[in-house]
Amino acid sequence: MSYSAFLLVFLVIPIVLLAVGLRQHIQRHHLLAMVLVSAIAFVYTTPWDNYAAYKGLWSFAPEFVWGPPLWFGWLPLEEYLFYFAEAIFTCLAMIGLAKIPLFAPESTPHRTKSEPNIASTPLAGVAVTLPFGKLSYLLILTLWALPVLAVQWLVAYKSLWRARGLLLITFLLCGTYLSLADHFAIAKGIWQIQEDGIIGWRLQGHLPLEEAMFFFLTVAMSAQGFWMIAEHFREKWEAKGSTI
């Protein structure tokens, strides 16, 4: 299976099905949040992913990706498309899960003046730590992801805490699904993880622990970012008396 076919089967088709099934529930603050989250995911992930590929932490089989004209930096075009698709998939899954009463967030109280504004949320910098043996993937992953998660909770902890059930189930379901999809891709040789850069613990024989961590952490960043942004604009527009 090629990388493009992988994207079609594991992300594009599920995204289309979710979008069609949830079309009556997707509101304009959801759409804006999805656009912003996917754009931030692209901007924040691109230098990190290129850096890791440049250092040889992972590579892509030439026979499974589009040709050299569609390579940008150290990555094929499909890898960049993956950023957008994963973020959109996570956001749509979260919208669907929010409609299940068990996972519905608590009602949102009126914003107080002391509550932080998401519009001023800073972004963490790109990790620049050089690879360090078998801890390389683990180090650059945690230095890249954990600051973002920490800033999100620091800025909007009240809002995120109200949605903790929804965030947790999105984290578990989407993280597991994407990890299983990644396991399939590695087993088929679509991409390879450098053995010298991982600690060597593999799940089901193919999926490195660090790869599973990557998907759970990126789902957490996308889901929390989506909730923060969507809630910010929903409250802003409702305060102005707009119809959402």
Query: Which sequence spans correspond to the domains of the chain?
Result: 3-105+124-239
Q: Element (H or E) spanning 207, and its range? A: strand 207-208
Position 123 scores a pLDDT of: 30
Neighbouring CB atoms inside 10 A of 75's CB total 19
Q: How far apart are CA 244 and CA 240, in angstroms?
A: 11
Quick one: DSSP state of residue 1? -
Q: How far apart are CA 174 and CA 86, in angstroms?
A: 9
One-letter amino acid at 95 equals I
Position 203 scores a pLDDT of: 80
- What six digits make up the tokens of 80? 């960049």
Half-sphere exposure of 162 (CA within 13 A, CB side): 12
- What six digits make up the tokens of 120? 């001023």
Position 80 scores a pLDDT of: 94
Ramachandran quadrant class, 33 (left: phi over 0; alpha: psi -120 to 50; beta: rest): alpha
Position 70 scores a pLDDT of: 86
Burial 9-19 (b: 16+ CB within 10 A, else e): ebbbebbeebe
**Angle (nearest 5°) at CA 51 between 185 and 74:** 65
Half-sphere exposure of 25 (CA within 13 A, CB side): 15
162 closest CA partner among 217, 115, 114: 115
Q: How far apart are CA 57 and CA 140, in angstroms?
A: 10
Position 108 scores a pLDDT of: 52
pLDDT along the chain (244 residues), means of 10: 94 97 93 95 94 89 86 93 95 92 66 37 36 84 95 94 94 96 92 86 84 96 95 84 51
Residue 230 φ/ψ, nearest 5 degrees:
-60, -45
Position 107 scores a pLDDT of: 59
SS3 76: strand
